[in-house]
Structure 1
Amino acid sequence: MKSLVKFTITLGALGVIVGLLLVMVYRITLPVINSQDLKALNEGLAGVFPGDNTFEKLNETLKSSDQTITIGDCYEVKNGGNIVGLVVTVSSPGSQAPIKMLVGVKKDGTISGVKILSMSETPGLGANADNPTYFVNRDKKITFLDQFTGKNALKDPLVPKQDIIALTGATITSNAVSKGVKIAGEVGYNYLKGVAP
């Protein structure tokens, strides 16, 4: 009986020590992780809306016209103090899990760029959506995401096999990204027409 009590106390003390060590490691690494996340976000924002711009996170939540598409954080794009666009974080249902993207939108609804933040698509098929060496147009070296740049979310259908070259063997991924970009473009345009001169 005495050895059972001693074992229980030893095991409990060991559990407390390990728990405290985990808390210390978490507190030490959290600022580094947050710093890396912020750096990746800033690179993503600049990547989808190139130029000498600043980005300011909106305090309001914008809504999607499609219940399957989720709009996340949005960032006003300013150049010289003037609003020139919006970067919309959008999630669209992929074949395995939601595909989370940043979409840059100019005041007229033109897409300035698209970056996939996270996805769980099939390697070699849907995962090619974010592959910088997989070209949907090999002659012009255009990747799947590159083809959205310059398209207008209001005027262009943004539909695979119409004005978008679909990924081979990845219809769901192609449709998900296209739909997410289109909705983000519409949301961005509708917001910008209310705030930008």
Structure 2
Amino acid sequence: MEMLTAIRNSALGLSIFAVITSGAIALTQVSTKERIEINEREQRARALYEIVPKDSIDNSLLEDTVTITAPYLTASEQPVDVFRARRDGQVVTVIIPTTAPDGYTGNINIIVGINADESIAGVRVLSHKETPGLGDKVDLKKSDWVLSFNGQRYEGSNDPSWAVQKDGGRFDQFTGATITPRAIVNATARAIHYFRENKAALMESKPNLTGTE
């Protein structure tokens, strides 16, 4: 009887320990997920205002958004927000999220700022897994390569200069790493194409947007 009691007590103790441990793990996961989401929002906000400085517009980029679903751009069926910058109530720049699915080591998530005149306001990389010392130079913290998009114009699919120099284009590539910059150049072109296809709607207060295929 004493042995059975001891076994029951041990089993009960293990069960309680398992419940407590599971609860602690779940709580840690929730807390970590929330922190990651907060960090991602903060990073996105910084990137947005690097493209369009706060003091140059009269609205909040984070609050003036349009939700779109465009797998052509994002390689996902999940909806994303397009951010709009205004001056005197008029939309002057939109910032479109897009994903380059053909990075060297996976997806590269970027945002592309496009002015009303279709020139590039700026491009920023939000996340990537590119090779340190090579492909990671697309990150502004590593190099100023991404600034080469500022003010550029894309003439469409018949514009051979919208490519890295190795492919006969205008954009530099990194020594030993052509795949990464090529992926971002192509993703930026898709964002511009989407903007042109939906320009009128993006500039309206209540847009009616569709994904481009």
TM-score (norm 1): 0.80
Structure 1: runs of 5+ lacking an equivalent: 135-142
Check the 8 A contact 1:87/1:188 in 2, yes or no.
no
Say yes or no: does 1:18 pair with 2:21: yes
Identity %: 22
- CA separation of 1:97 and 1:45: change in aligned 2, threshold 3 A: same
In structure 2, the partner of 1:74 is 82
Q: Which amino acid aligns with 2:147?
A: D
Matching of residues 7-156 of structure 1 within 5 Å? 7-25=10-28, 32-50=35-53, 51-52=56-57, 53-55=59-61, 56-62=64-70, 64=72, 70=75, 72-92=80-100, 93-134=102-143, 143-154=144-155
Aligned residues: 186
Q: CA deviation at 1:28?
A: 5.5
**Which SS does the other structure have where 2:67 is aligned?**
coil
Deviation at 1:170? 0.7
Moved more, 73-82 or 159-168: 73-82
- The one-character-per-residue Cα deviations of 1:101-160 (angstroms, maximum 9, x if unpaired) are 0111112221111111111111111111215453xxxxxxxx210101111133664200
Task: Give 5+ residue unaligned stretches, structure 2.
Answer: 205-213
CA–CA distance in 1 between the matches of 2:136 and 2:197?
A: 31
Q: Which has the higher contact order (CA 8 A, sep 6+)?
A: 1
Matching residue's letter, 1:8? A
Q: Which moved more, 1:35-44 or 1:17-26?
A: 17-26
For the Cα contact (< 8 Å) 2:124–2:140, is it kept in 1?
no
Q: Given that residues 113 and 149 in structure 1 are in contact (C-alpha distance below 8 angstroms), is that contact kept between their aligned partners in structure 2? A: yes
Structure 1 pair 80–42 and aligned structure 2 pair: CA distance change class (3 A): farther
Aligned to 2:181, what secondary structure does the other structure show? helix
Question: Which of 158, 164, 173 is the matching residue for 2:162?
Answer: 158
CA RMSD of superposed structures (Å): 2.6
CA contact (8 A) 1:57 1:76 kept: yes
User: Is contact 1:85-1:192 (8 Å) kept?
Assistant: no
Q: TM-score, normalised on structure 2?
A: 0.75
Q: 1:44 to 1:81 in 2, by over 3 A?
A: same
- The amino acid across from 1:42 in the alignment is A
> CA 1:119 to 1:181, structure 2 compared with 1: closer, same or farther past 3 Å?
same
Given the superposition, is the C-alpha separation of residues 187 and 32 from structure 1 closer, same or farther in structure 2, using an over 3 Å criterion? same
Structure 1 match to 2:182 = 175
What SS class does the counterpart of residue 126 from structure 2 fall into? strand
